[in-house]
């Protein structure tokens, strides 16, 4: 199991670093660079969708605590990218329905672990963004799938 976790971390790190490295080696405008970086974050979130689905029902452990920190950082970066792009860019416009579900699962996980976040750290901007986006993402999932639930469907949780 340890080797699997190590492999997942290596693959996840690679997925995050690939867009960063490609941004540094090619001439692209800033918007394209940020979208490429965002793609790396989304790849990492998408790979963890099953983990988020299972972790929602788990108590705090050292592993879920690290997953919480990592996921909160990814969500914070995506939120900040969206803010930097302005009203012309919404993350869900760049994603397919399965990636939207993965992002929604990450939001469910963060919301379920909010009670464990350090009290001295204000994450209200991130949680307000998640609350707003969860409504949009779940509406898109409802529009696409109707009442039919998928495996690891974020609408079944939280």
pTM of the model: 0.78
For residue range 52-95, list pLDDT tens digits in order.
999 998 889 999 999 999 999 999 999 998 888 777 788 898 89
**Model confidence at 1: pLDDT above 50:** no
Tally of CB atoms within 10 A around 133: 21
Question: Rounded to whole angstroms, how far apart are CA atoms 11 and 5?
Answer: 10
For residue range 10-65, list pLDDT tens digits in order.
555 555 555 555 544 445 677 677 777 778 889 999 999 999 999 998 889 999 99
Question: Rounded to whole angstroms, how far apart are CA atoms 127 and 109?
Answer: 11
- pLDDT (mean) for 111-115: 91
**Are 112 and 105 in contact, with CB atoms under 8 Å apart?**
no
Q: Is the C-alpha dihedral spanning 107, 111, 116, 122 positive or negative?
A: positive
Question: Rounded to whole angstroms, how far apart are CA atoms 79 and 101?
Answer: 17
């Amino acid at each position: 199991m340890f080797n699997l976790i190590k492999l997942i971390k290596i693959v996840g790190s690679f997925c995050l670093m690939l867009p960063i490295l490609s941004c540094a080696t090619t001439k692209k405008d800033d918007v394209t660079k940020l979208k490429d970086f965002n793609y790396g974050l989304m790849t990492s979130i998408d790979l963890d969708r099953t983990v988020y689905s299972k972790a929602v029902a788990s108590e705090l452990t050292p592993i879920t605590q690290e997953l919480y920190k990592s996921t909160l950082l990814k969500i914070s970066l995506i939120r900040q990218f969206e803010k930097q792009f302005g009203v012309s860019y919404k993350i869900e416009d760049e994603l397919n329905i399965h990636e939207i579900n993965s992002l929604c699962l990450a939001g469910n996980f963060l919301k379920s672990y909010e009670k464990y976040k350090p009290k001295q750290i204000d994450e209200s901007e991130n949680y307000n963004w998640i609350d707003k986006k969860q409504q949009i993402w779940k509406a898109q999932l409802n529009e696409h799938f109707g009442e039919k639930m998928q495996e690891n469907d974020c609408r079944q949780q939280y």
